[in-house]
Structure 1
Amino acid sequence: MDNAAMHATSPGRRPFRVLTRRNFLSASVGTSIAAFCGACSPDQGSPSNALSQHFWGCFLPGSILAGAGSAAAINQLAQLAGTDPDVVHVYASIVDQLSVAALDVVRQAAATPLVTLEPWDPSDGQEQSGFSLSSITGGQHDAALHRWAGQLGAWQHPVLLRFAQEMNGSWYPWSIGVNGNSAADYRTAWQRMYAIISEAAPNVSFVWAPNAITEGTTDFTSCYPGDQFVDYLGLDGYNWGTIPGHQWQSAHKLFSHSIATLDRLAPDLPVVVTEVGCAEGNQPELKAEWIRDFFSVIGENKRVSGFVWFQMDKERDWRFNSSHASTAAFRESLEQWTRK
């Protein structure tokens, strides 16, 4: 996400499906129920989507280590959406330790963790020279990468790993143009990370995720490290609404061009919208219309295997349940999309 602009009984579960050559799905988790359920609740009696060919997931706010609260949060989300999430999204800094307890919470929810591993100190700012791409290519963070590789491999269960996302923006230490970073530096840094983690953690699938081409971003094709180093093509995109520095964007305008670019870049890999959210519009019905538009966009492209909704009231209220109308639009559209 662009940091510069401010970053009961559950429904029936669909069977685990093979979606990539490495046989892994992705997932993410969080725990604060009130933060994402506050606006409204759906009707009881959610449908089963047993024949679905698509997967979906979410990022939820809060720590996933809150014990029973974690399961309750995921259940609440499932009730809101009408079906269990397949994917729960976890953020971590490269300086952190892997939280095995966090991954266990996701697995116990019958989901797969999507771990976003960020090479920076999140408490500091954008221009952290100690986390420039050259510092990664030069081996300064090899010890941390080996530690992550060993810990992920020891867990043994499927994990999707997203590293240094949104490199075509301008808001991270690894962004192209920040700290002297170049696209060639990014490719080399990714390949070094891949070599270290893939050797020790064969249970990991790798997700390369630029930001959708929009305000404040650049073309991402020169940053692509190559098919042999990637399992999923990710894509992040948010409709910030009409505020200073942003304008309302349809889902088609936000995503279609970038999905087509990914299609040309690596036609044999599946696409996952790894972060998506929508702000409220100037009129009550606009967000609900945008959500339907989003499902239309991903439904029209057979390359899109899944999406991960950013379910948090943060810079804007990104939650799909920020109103009764947007909740209904999400539930209805998700049911239709997962049944295709």
Structure 2
Amino acid sequence: MSSATFSWWASSKRNARWTAVAAAALVTVLALLSAFVWMSPSDLAKHVSDAAKSATEALSPAEKKNAELTAQIAQLNAELDSVQKKLDQAAAQRDHAKADLTTAQAGNESLKSQLKQLQTAKSQLKGQLDALKADSSASTEALRQQVTTQQSELQNAWRAGSSSSSGTGSSTGTNPAGTPVTPANTPIEAPSKAELLSPAGRYWGVYEEQAPFSMSEVNDTAAKVGYTPTVVGYFQGWDKDFRADAVQDAWKNGMVPLLTWESRPIDDANNVTDRPEYSLKNIIDGNFDAYLTKYAKAIAQTKLPMIIRLDQEMNGSWYPWAESDASGNSVNGNSPGEFAKMWQHVWNIFEANGANNYVIWNWAPNIVNTIGAHGGVQSYDTFAETYPGDKYVDLVGLDGYLRSPATADKASFDATYGTTLSYLRKLAPNRNIFFSEIGATDDGSTEQSGGYKAQWINSFFQAMQDPANADIMGFSWLDEAVTSYTQGVRNTNDWRIASSSEALDAFKAGLSAKASDYMLNPVDQ
């Protein structure tokens, strides 16, 4: 071939020579590689297998660890899901408990409201039942009196016939058994309410433990003093019905009955003030209307006059009808102004049932000397706040004692009553005054032994002779030795008129002095 044929591959002889060398080297390398491959196939496979095995062995622990971790993660996720479910259940139970508590609280309030309504209804029903019993008792009493009258008429007719047939008479008569006959249903004579409010002289009375149901103590005191009292006092609570026999027995003995009527159970101690069922508001709201109506009707049916001292010493703090204590704190849940409203409410019920034709209403605060804040004198405004008004009060009064320990400066009429009397005369200038509950303690009854009872009694009766005290209609003396609480302190005082000969002599002399102007009924010796 010609040289022109290789022009595209080697342009010169030099290039052609290097090209041939390179080609030969390439062929040689390829031949060696092929020979290596064909001559050592097992070694190469082994090397490849070993490499694969090493890779597999290196990968297997990691995969195992990964699997274990994956399993642990799954377990933890399961436990987490279980805890979350429990949390969700606890939250649901808590929400249910809250809902149940709210429902229970609402139910409790509802039950409280229902209980209060039931208690009110019970009180009203009890009052209605009591009223029905009273009406029934009144009807039974009227029937009994009618039968007694008929029996008396028959006995009188029999006596008249017997006297006529025998030709002899008898001033007293006898029944078939031969015993004297006392005329039945002898009327009890008593002045009217108006006459009692305009007496010929001053009243003087006593409180004795058993009177007027038993007059033995009254008679004993009368024998010592020499005169029969014209007033007899007694106490009753709102847990008791009206006692017609007390009023009748008093008048049978020629004495005006003075009832201290307390809106609380009669057996409560004098230091018990927490009586929420007897709060002033409960009375004003009508919770005792049935009881009060029954009581008023019974008085009207008895048709005998009497004095009622309703809830005495209301300006103090030791009874459940007090409005507040000396520091202004509420007593028994009461509020200022409620006492007067309570009094007016009771008076209106009595008026509606005809009882006010017979009742002399006696408003009787405690003397102000010892019940002011921090030992001071009570203010006039605080004193006057409980006054219901002249329309509702027939007699203004006061309660006050010479208490232990007595001292010479306290043992006088003016020291005991002066400030309170000035308040009363300012508050109700058109009303007479009655000393509703008074007395003097006995600490030996002589100045030498530390007692000033006789001195105080002398001062008391001397003051009664002063024309400036002409508006004082009389007094009722607590003739007992009494243990009570005074400003939280327990004391026993001997208030008895005859606690000593000195006290008794002073009392007799003062009572019988003509200038004292007391109505005196001498005791038959």
Q: TM-score range by the shorter chain?
A: 0.7 to 0.9
Letter of the structure 2 residue corresponding to residue 72 of structure 1: S
Letter of the structure 2 residue corresponding to residue 118 of structure 1: E
- 1:250 and 2:412 correspond: yes
Residue 352 of structure 2 corresponds to: 199
Residue 266 of structure 1 corresponds to: 428
The 1-side partners of 2:338 and 2:200 are apart by 40
- Does structure 1 retain, via aligned residues, the 8 Å contact 2:480–2:496? yes
May I ask how many residue pairs the two structures share in their alignment? 292
- Does structure 2 retain, via aligned residues, the 8 Å contact 1:133–1:181? yes
Matches for 1:290-309 after TM superposition, within 5 Å = 290-300=456-466, 301-309=469-477
- Does structure 1 retain, via aligned residues, the 8 Å contact 2:201–2:517? yes
- Does structure 2 retain, via aligned residues, the 8 Å contact 1:227–1:266? yes
- Does structure 2 retain, via aligned residues, the 8 Å contact 1:208–1:234? yes
Structure 1 position 280, deviation (Å): 1.4
- Does structure 2 retain, via aligned residues, the 8 Å contact 1:120–1:128? yes
My pick for the range that moved more, 311-320 or 95-104, is 95-104
- After superposition, the Cα gap between the structure-2 partners of 1:17 and 1:264, relative to the gap in structure 1 and judged at 3 Å, is farther
2:370 counterpart SS class: coil
2:261 counterpart SS class: strand
The 2-side partners of 1:327 and 1:172 are apart by 32
Matches for 1:24-63 after TM superposition, within 5 Å = 24=196, 53-62=201-210
TM-score (norm 2): 0.53
2:248 counterpart SS class: helix
Letter of the structure 2 residue corresponding to residue 130 of structure 1: E
The 1-side partners of 2:434 and 2:420 are apart by 12
Residue 313 of structure 1 corresponds to: 481
- 1:187 and 2:331 correspond: no
Structure 1 position 339, deviation (Å): 5.4
Q: 1:276 aligns with which of 435, 438, 446?
A: 438
2:366 counterpart SS class: coil
Residue 164 of structure 1 corresponds to: 311
The 2-side partners of 1:331 and 1:319 are apart by 13
Structure 1 position 141, deviation (Å): 1.2
More helix by share: 2
Matches for 1:147-162 after TM superposition, within 5 Å = 147-162=294-309
The 1-side partners of 2:419 and 2:281 are apart by 30
Give CA-to-partner distance per residue, 1:197-230, whole Å, 9 cap, x none: 1332111111111001122354421111100111
Give CA-to-partner distance per residue, 1:34-53, whole Å, 9 cap, x none: xxxxxxxxxxxxxxxxx962
Residue 209 of structure 1 corresponds to: 364
Structure 1 position 269, deviation (Å): 0.7
Residue 399 of structure 2 corresponds to: 236
Residue 117 of structure 2 corresponds to: none
- Does structure 2 retain, via aligned residues, the 8 Å contact 1:57–1:307? yes
The 2-side partners of 1:119 and 1:258 are apart by 24
- Does structure 2 retain, via aligned residues, the 8 Å contact 1:117–1:164? yes
My pick for the range that moved more, 209-218 or 164-173, is 209-218
1:314 counterpart SS class: strand
- Does structure 1 retain, via aligned residues, the 8 Å contact 2:250–2:257? yes
Residue 39 of structure 2 corresponds to: none
Higher RCO by CA contacts (8 Å cutoff, separation 6 or greater): 1
Structure 1 position 248, deviation (Å): 4.8
Structure 1 position 281, deviation (Å): 3.3
- Does structure 1 retain, via aligned residues, the 8 Å contact 2:205–2:477? yes
Letter of the structure 1 residue corresponding to residue 517 of structure 2: T
The 1-side partners of 2:308 and 2:465 are apart by 25
- After superposition, the Cα gap between the structure-2 partners of 1:92 and 1:25, relative to the gap in structure 1 and judged at 3 Å, is farther
My pick for the range that moved more, 194-203 or 148-157, is 194-203
Give CA-to-partner distance per residue, 1:154-200, whole Å, 9 cap, x none: 11011111111100111110012112323410110000011111332
The 2-side partners of 1:236 and 1:168 are apart by 11
Residue 327 of structure 1 corresponds to: 504
- 1:85 and 2:253 correspond: no
The 2-side partners of 1:236 and 1:183 are apart by 21
The 1-side partners of 2:370 and 2:442 are apart by 19
Matches for 1:57-136 after TM superposition, within 5 Å = 57-62=205-210, 64-65=212-213, 70-124=214-268, 125-136=272-283
1:220 counterpart SS class: helix
Structure 1: segments with no counterpart, 5+ residues: 1-15, 27-50
- After superposition, the Cα gap between the structure-2 partners of 1:79 and 1:25, relative to the gap in structure 1 and judged at 3 Å, is farther
The 2-side partners of 1:98 and 1:78 are apart by 27
Letter of the structure 1 residue corresponding to residue 207 of structure 2: F
Q: 1:224 aligns with which of 373, 380, 387?
A: 387
Structure 1 position 283, deviation (Å): 5.6
Letter of the structure 1 residue corresponding to residue 302 of structure 2: W
Larger Rg: 2
- Does structure 2 retain, via aligned residues, the 8 Å contact 1:74–1:109? no
Q: Percentage identity across aligned positions?
A: 30
TM-score (norm 1): 0.80
Structure 2: segments with no counterpart, 5+ residues: 1-189, 325-330, 373-377, 484-492, 520-525
Residue 110 of structure 2 corresponds to: none
1:97 counterpart SS class: coil
- Does structure 2 retain, via aligned residues, the 8 Å contact 1:82–1:335? no
Structure 1 position 232, deviation (Å): 0.3
Structure 1 position 88, deviation (Å): 0.4
The 1-side partners of 2:273 and 2:347 are apart by 24
